[in-house]
Structure 1
């Protein structure tokens, strides 16, 4: 079943809206605490509790509109619900901060496993978006696996050694900027290994 086309502005709002709302809510509530059933929760944990249903709703809306969810979207949703739920259950923000590390380690591991088998799992999920020759896919997959490992290390270092404010800024702005920068830096690879079926 092919994916239905969605207005780019709406797609962007569904994909990036939750993290922007998380940042905005954290900015306003970070210094507050909330008493629920006799337990005091920090502003960060409270915002995490709000973020989870927002992400669930936007992910379901994307699925409803397009008829398709990528493996990355599904895994991200599962880990957000899982680690976010642990943060709320144990009233410990560290679980939610670990979530990006788990996501990037998982994707790096999957890509690395595919490479060891001589395959590019990245090609399997992005072939239509990025038409590349096989050599290009293998090289891009290797670079992306290393990039994910570096992001996992960076996330661990920042949440363990820096303030929560620094981590929220890193998650909201640093991670998307790093991802954008990575793909922009691969322009030479795309040009060298890009396939063009119309060329005889």
Structure 2
């Protein structure tokens, strides 16, 4: 079964954010009922794990595929959430954004060092730019991902659990959207430079 138009956006929204929304809502629900913050985080993780698994299943059923980033993020949620529940240690779920953002950041830099461009492979069909533009965009995103990893470490180690949960979602999403919009001028600049020059007229 395959959806089209708005149906695709609805399914992709579930795949990308379904688990995080469930985690956010369940944490504050348990906290509202009087559960201590750390225990509320454990209970919310019990919601996060099946919600993340269900989101991946829904995405696969309706689209017959799952994009690389949501797939990696979903599997990581299952792994780190599972470790949190097995060891009853919330540090695992808190460290997940650190590990994943560091993974993406170093992955992009290693790709450039090997003269590959994983960002171009993922986005090349949607955006046409010369290699110089892709290299600058990749460096920007690599630095951004590494900065998010460091920021997550700072927040979860220094702030209360409810602050970290809001930072995790929707905080990281908002920061990512703002950063992505900030890259539009760079993409437009190099997208224009990729156009063929006008014919020369004597």
- Fold-level similarity (TM above 0.5): yes
For structure 1, which segment, 86-95 or 140-149, has the greater mean C-alpha deviation from structure 2 after superposition? 86-95
Match of 1:154 in 2: 151
User: Which of these two proteins has the greater Rg computed from alpha carbons?
Assistant: 2
Match of 2:96 in 1: 99
How far apart, in 1, do the equivalents of 2:196 and 2:20 lie? 40
Segments of structure 1 that go 5 or more residues without pairing to the other structure are 34-40
Aligned length: 191
- The TM-score with structure 2 as length reference comes to 0.86
Superposed displacement of residue 134, structure 1: 1.6
Match of 2:123 in 1: 126
1:108 equivalent to 2:105? Answer: yes
Give the secondary structure class of the aligned counterpart of 1:68: coil
How far apart, in 1, do the equivalents of 2:164 and 2:109 lie? 27
Superposed displacement of residue 103, structure 1: 0.4
Superposed displacement of residue 194, structure 1: 1.3
RMSD: 2.2
Match of 1:191 in 2: 188
Superposed displacement of residue 197, structure 1: 6.8
How far apart, in 1, do the equivalents of 2:65 and 2:127 lie? 18
Give the secondary structure class of the aligned counterpart of 1:42: helix
1:70–1:199 CA distance, 2 compared to 1 (3 A): farther
Match of 1:38 in 2: none
- The TM-score with structure 1 as length reference comes to 0.87
Segments of structure 2 that go 5 or more residues without pairing to the other structure are none
Give the secondary structure class of the aligned counterpart of 2:28: helix
How far apart, in 1, do the equivalents of 2:197 and 2:150 lie? 42
How far apart, in 1, do the equivalents of 2:175 and 2:51 lie? 24
Superposed displacement of residue 130, structure 1: 2.3
How far apart, in 2, do the equivalents of 1:4 and 1:138 lie? 35
How far apart, in 2, do the equivalents of 1:9 and 1:67 lie? 15
Superposed displacement of residue 162, structure 1: 0.6
Residue pair 1:105, 1:152 contacting (<8 A) in 2 also:
yes
